[in-house]
Amino acid sequence: MKFTRSLSTFAAMAIIALAAISCQKEPGEKTILPEELPGTFIYNGNTYGIRSVVLYELDNNSTQLWISETAGYTTVDEIENSVGELVITIPNSKMNGMQVPPFEQEGGFVKYDDKQNSGWCTLSCQIDKENKNISFSFSSQSLKAADKAIEGRYSGPYTVYTEAELSNQWSYNRNAKDLVSAEFFKMEDGSPSRIILYDRDSKAVELNIPESKIGTTLLIGTSISIPEGTSVLYDNGEEFKMKNSYGSILVRPGSDNDLEVSLKLTNEKGKTLCAEYNGAYTSRLGNKTNRCIYDSGIKDYGYNGKFEIAGVTVSEGAAQYTFTFISKEVTGGAQYVDMNLIPSLTISKEAANKGYIDLCNTEYLWSFSYHNFQVDSNEENNEEKADAAEGSRILISRSADGKFTLDIEITYMMTKYQQVPVLDENGNVVQEPVEKLDPVSGDIVIEYVDKTEIVPCDVPTSIDLHYSEQ
């Protein structure tokens, strides 16, 4: 973080003089003021001196004035950690001399310690950047939890607080942490999409946004209706209350597995939540129905597609479960008659109620089969079988009444054979001459046809299966 401090000669001398008598106190305690302070404010009938002003420019088109009775503060954190801080948040559109009644409708507020304006408020603010001087006056009719007016004025020097830009990071109240991965859940039932950003410890930020708002900047403000279903969580599930918050949210999935997320929010208490992410992500389906989606990796393969699951049979052994899924039909109406075409999962009983299990890194024994899709935990001992690809996972949960919920996402590279053209050393298609009789002229003509060969290639084969007992 970078800080810029500029004080006039008068203000510097004043601060030195005041530092000796300035002390922290409980809000509401009457302050004995020296003469010729650059500013004061009145609360609950007491007058307090303004000895430090820090200007904090947020990224959501607003500016905060952090004000303290204590001299010498140059950062937001210093003032916040003191007693009795005064914070004024001003929409940038209302800066520089404009009277704003009531400015809280556009995200402005006055907060003193833990009390915040709940009524009519006016503000006048003028910044002289060339001379590093700021002048402001304010009056708030009432403060929450106090129901008392607060007003003040100031004309003097200020310090600029600049927060470092985030890059694949998130921050709550200016405490930045690195982001390491992201998930994007598109909901099958049409409910809001879910985006989860992870830091090294947990879920850092979770966004729930209507699908219609994905790809566009969603503005949040006290005078703006928040789309139904929009919510923001942080730090492993703490709710960031959207009422009376302001800022912006952008979620934009791009090509080449790239996701852009930009989050800039300030709540009614002045707490900020920000995130900037641009990188790879895992795309998943959420709010799944009882179904199975199979992709063989071969175009126009007869069993590709989505089909419904009508039920499941469970065989319980001493150490394992075996689930056999009863499918209704494949897309197109073909009925299942071959047992090889019925999904089946065998897995250790210890895997139940453990959350999602990483199939590439688990001690639990498991196997899954469907048609020619056969993969299990012992693949590393069988060179003829492929390993489950990174991201493959299984969830098994069992309720108190014995009902199961299963979510299976498995991908692996299967060797397929396909016909490809033969190329020469220059990359040109090799052609074979073929003699043919021209039926009109009776002449022998030579035509050239592409030469092809059958070659093996590895293609991703995937299963996405979900079933929840009713």
Looking at the structure, do residues 463 and 316 belong to the same domain, yes or no?
yes
Question: What distance in Å separates the CA atoms of residue 86 and residue 298, rounded to the nearest whole number?
Answer: 65
Listed residues 250, 266, 284: the one ending a domain: 284
Q: Residues 125-182: pLDDT tens digits?
A: 888 888 889 999 888 877 766 667 889 999 999 999 988 889 999 999 889 999 999 9
Looking at the structure, do residues 353 and 463 belong to the same domain, yes or no?
yes
186-195, 402-411, 453-462: least confidently modelled range:
453-462
Domain assignment of residue 357, yes or no:
yes
Q: Is the pLDDT of residue 31 over 80?
A: no
Contacts 24+ apart (CB under 8 A), 234-237: 234/170, 234/172, 234/204, 234/205, 234/206, 234/273, 235/172, 235/202, 235/204, 236/202, 236/203, 237/203, 237/206
8 versus 209: the higher-pLDDT residue is 209
User: pLDDT band for position 299 (50/70/90)?
Assistant: confident
132 versus 269: the higher-pLDDT residue is 132
Per the structure, how many domains does the chain have?
3
User: pLDDT band for position 9 (50/70/90)?
Assistant: very low
Domain that holds residue 51: 2-162
pLDDT at 179: 97
Looking at the structure, do residues 277 and 308 belong to the same domain, yes or no?
no
Domain assignment of residue 332, yes or no:
yes
Torsion of Cα atoms, 52 then 53 then 56 then 61, to 10°: 160
Q: What is the pTM (predicted TM-score) of this model?
A: 0.67
Question: What distance in Å separates the CA atoms of residue 406 and residue 467, rounded to the nearest whole number?
Answer: 5
Q: 315-329: string of b/e by CB count within 10 Å (b at 16+)?
A: eeeeebbebebebee
- Find the helix or strand (DSSP H, E) in which 406 lies: strand 404-421
Domain assignment of residue 423, yes or no:
no
Listed residues 284, 308, 326: the one ending a domain: 284
CA distances to 17, 53, 94, 133, 187 from 157, in Å: 16, 7, 20, 5, 53
236 versus 91: the higher-pLDDT residue is 236
Average pLDDT over residues 16-39: 55
Domain assignment of residue 131, yes or no:
yes
Domain assignment of residue 123, yes or no:
yes
8-17, 116-125, 330-339: least confidently modelled range:
8-17
DSSP 131: T
Domain assignment of residue 141, yes or no:
yes
193 versus 339: the higher-pLDDT residue is 193
User: pLDDT band for position 24 (50/70/90)?
Assistant: very low
User: pLDDT band for position 91 (50/70/90)?
Assistant: confident
Looking at the structure, do residues 139 and 60 belong to the same domain, yes or no?
yes
Looking at the structure, do residues 463 and 338 belong to the same domain, yes or no?
yes
Looking at the structure, do residues 9 and 137 belong to the same domain, yes or no?
yes
209 versus 391: the higher-pLDDT residue is 209
pLDDT at 337: 47
Q: Residues 230-244: pLDDT tens digits?
A: 999 999 999 999 887
To the nearest whole number, what is the mean pLDDT of the chain?
A: 82
Structure token pair of residue 436? 């043919």
pLDDT at 49: 92
User: pLDDT band for position 447 (50/70/90)?
Assistant: confident
Looking at the structure, do residues 277 and 323 belong to the same domain, yes or no?
no
Looking at the structure, do residues 31 and 151 belong to the same domain, yes or no?
yes
Q: Is the pLDDT of residue 412 over 60?
A: yes
pLDDT at 338: 55
13-22, 205-214, 423-432: least confidently modelled range:
13-22
Pairing relationship of beta strands 181-187 and 282-286 according to DSSP bridges: parallel
Listed residues 233, 252, 284: the one ending a domain: 284
The residues that bridge with 420 in the sheet, in sequence order, are 453
pLDDT at 366: 94
Domain assignment of residue 318, yes or no:
yes
Domain assignment of residue 396, yes or no:
yes
Looking at the structure, do residues 280 and 297 belong to the same domain, yes or no?
no
Residue at 46: amino acid letter: N
Average pLDDT over residues 307-332: 83
pLDDT at 3: 39
Looking at the structure, do residues 156 and 300 belong to the same domain, yes or no?
no
Looking at the structure, do residues 137 and 16 belong to the same domain, yes or no?
yes
Looking at the structure, do residues 15 and 149 belong to the same domain, yes or no?
yes
